[in-house]
Structure 1
Amino acid sequence: MARYVCRMGGKGWWLVGFAVASVLLALLGLALGSVDLPLADVWATLLGQGTGTDAVIVLEVRMPQVLTAAAAGAGLAAAGLLMQTVFHNPLAGPGVLGLTGGAAVGVALVMLARPIWSAAALPQDLLVSAAAWFGALAVLMLVLLADRRVGNGATLLILGLMLSYLCTALVSVLQAASEPGALKGFVLWGMGSFAGSTPQRLPWLLIPVAVGLLLALALVKPMNALLVGEDHARSLGTDVGRVRRIAIWTSGLLAGSITAFCGPVAFLGLAVPHVARAFLRTADHRVLMPGTILLGVALAVACDLAVRAPWTGGALPLNAVTSLLGAPVVLWVLLGGRKWGQ
């Protein structure tokens, strides 16, 4: 590890800084909440020496929420970087191909068309997560099939935009025909949240996100080749179509899994890669990908801390915080704050 940091020079120390910030913010996430706990007690609980109510609060309530935020931040940031590189578009994000819209349709069918699912044996929260995952998966399959047919990044972006419009229209129809109580629940889901996860459900998020992150890290070399253009990448022996499909599949796995558990989380996947580029000052994915993942963890946990801050009363929507973070970054990119690809 020390050799890797030294080889990366100043960029390596930024990676160390991101990692340290992530750990410190995670510890704060375990300590702060409706009942604040001393960091010494949190540390003792993590070492297996905690007892009583404090241990329950840390391990059963806050630990799943912090891990959910960390996984979501890492996964969405990596997915956003993949999409921005594959499509050579600084405003591409995990939802650019309509995956978030597909997840929303699945959830709307469960939450707004309740009579259809009234006899389902699954718990409501598990049913919602499954519906979001299968909705995103359906859109992902359509995109991958289209990629084999058209083989053009610009056309795929247009297809993703049209799929998003179609999904929005379907959700609007379901909303118009739904009951007020069901509609309120759907609106709350659309605000995003890292809360509500349990130790029993957590592996269903962590495992696919871990697989997606490993795939994203394995793609750093072909991503670097794509930076100089598809024609040049082909001349270097890169199978551009295959790389694009793997990147889309990886992004879909990450975005679909996270949306299923957390709802549609805005701006993290779009903004974090640009913030990482600004700090690291490189387009080399060997540095940029791990840096983006670590920074995604830190910023997502920080957003979760802001949502849980005492002055908010626990009522601040997650997407309000992520939008306050991400929207200025997007404006900075649009106004030329940093040249794309640097």
Structure 2
Amino acid sequence: MSDQFKILCLVLILAILLAAVVNLNTGFLSLNVKDFFTESSNGQIAEIRVNRLLVMLLAGISIPTSGFLMQEYFQNPLAGPDILGITSVASLSVAFYIFFSHDLLIPEILQNSFLSLSAIAGSLLMMLIFLSVTRKFQDKSYLIIFGFLISAFSGAVVSLLQLYAENQSLKNYILWSFGANNMVSRNQIYVLSVLISAGLWVCFKTIKPLIGNSLGTSYAQSLGVNLNQLKIFVIIASSLLSASVTAFLGPVLFIGIIVPHFCRLIYNPAKLWQQWILNMFLGMLIMLIFSIIAEKTQIPLNVISSVFGIPVILGMLLKQNRV
């Protein structure tokens, strides 16, 4: 590893630690250190803040990794779970689950599992459809349009479900769609950790073949890269990582696009192992900052990510157009 990479990692780790401390001290009530380690009157509030911190760290690891995998596989800096419709279809799957499972008596831990499984199933289906469409569209811009159409269709179906939904189901979906990180329980974090760990393991198996794939299909095959297996691994890893966070935090948009973009700006984009590490560190830092802003302003998390992400993506498009 180069000295530049080590310095970048050190700076990001220190910034993450600082943001974590600020995050734990952000809220309507001031807490002491003992509130986080002893059973005090403010123990429940401290637990909520710790849960908020943990889920933001997990989201910061998983969403940029999902976008990083898709951008490297498709060789498109605009590829991501948001732009290509994966997050929208995962949201649609969660909406079906929330609206049609209210009459079922399901234990809480199983509700968390079914919620995540519905999001993952929707994202896997979208990825399979998208990969089949890539063979027909040679121009990458058509893929972006296709993802936009899928997102619009998913949004229309969700609006239709909201129109006929019962009050409690509608309230649950709206709260979920706001990206309320304070509502994530410890059991949900356990489920989320397992899903993200599985996605990261598949991602680890994918990086080396991606390096060969970046050099061209013919060269990758000469190196012994199994392109069909690589495609499957990218589908599984991206779907697990993006859909698991979507299931519990709602659609946190554009993070999977802008974080890999920033990482390529600050370090050599050809070194994929280092890029993956930087994506996780920078993703954790950005999500912690968003969490602090959300607590200070009471603005939903997905609104903050959109306000931050849209200008960055517009800048990327203008830069590509000039080139």
Provide the TM-score with structure 2 as the length reference. 0.86
Per-residue CA distance 1:103-127 (angstroms, 9 max, x = gap): 222332244x4xx534311268964
SS of equivalent residue, structure 2 residue 191: helix
1:179-229 superposed Cα distances (whole Å, 9 cap, x missing partner): 566445433422323221122331001111122123323322222222223
Corresponding residue for residue 306 of structure 2: 323
Give structure 1 stretches of 5+ with no counterpart. Answer: 1-6
Which range is displaced more, 214-223 or 157-166?
A: 157-166
1:69 and 1:304 in contact (8 A); partners too: yes
- In 2, Cα distance between equivalents of 1:195 and 1:259: 15
The CA deviation at 1:64 is: 0.8
2:321 & 2:72 partners in 1: Cα distance? 16
Identity of aligned residues (%): 29
Q: Give the Cα separation in 2 of the matches to 1:210 and 1:195.
A: 22
The equivalent residue for 1:53 is 41
Cα offset, 1:234, TM superposition? 2.0
SS in 1 for 2:183: coil
Distance 1:160 1:244, change over 3 A: farther
Structure 2 letter corresponding to 1:325:
F
The one-letter amino acid of 1:247's match is V
Check conservation: 1:205, 1:257, Cα contact below 8 A.
Answer: yes
Aligned-partner Cα distance in 1 for 2:233–2:5: 27
> Mean alpha-carbon deviation: is it higher for 330-339 or for 298-307?
330-339
Where does residue 176 of structure 2 map in the other structure?
189
Q: Distance in 1 between matches of 2:169 and 2:91?
A: 14
Match of 2:114 in 1: 130
Q: Distance between the aligned counterparts of 2:105 and 2:134, measured in 1?
A: 42
Alignment of 1:199 with 2:173, yes or no, is no
Is 2:30 aligned against 1:36?
yes
Quick one: distance in 2 between partners of 1:307 and 1:194?
A: 9
Q: Deviations over 1:223-274 (max 9, x none)?
A: 2222223233223221122112101110001111111111111111111111
1:297 maps to: 284
The alignment's TM-score, normalised by the length of structure 1, stands at 0.81
Q: How many correspondences in the alignment?
A: 319
Q: Which moved more, 1:159-168 or 1:225-234?
A: 159-168
Alignment of 1:105-254 (within 5 A): 105-111=92-98, 113=99, 116-122=100-106, 127=111, 130-131=114-115, 133-141=117-125, 143-144=127-128, 147=131, 152=135, 154=137, 157=143, 163-179=150-166, 182-254=169-241
Residue identity opposite 2:41 in structure 1: T
Segment of structure 1 superposing worse, 170-179 or 280-289? 170-179
Alpha carbons of structure 1 residues 105 and 125: separation in structure 2 relative to 1, 3 Å = farther
Compute the displacement of 1:320 (Å): 1.8
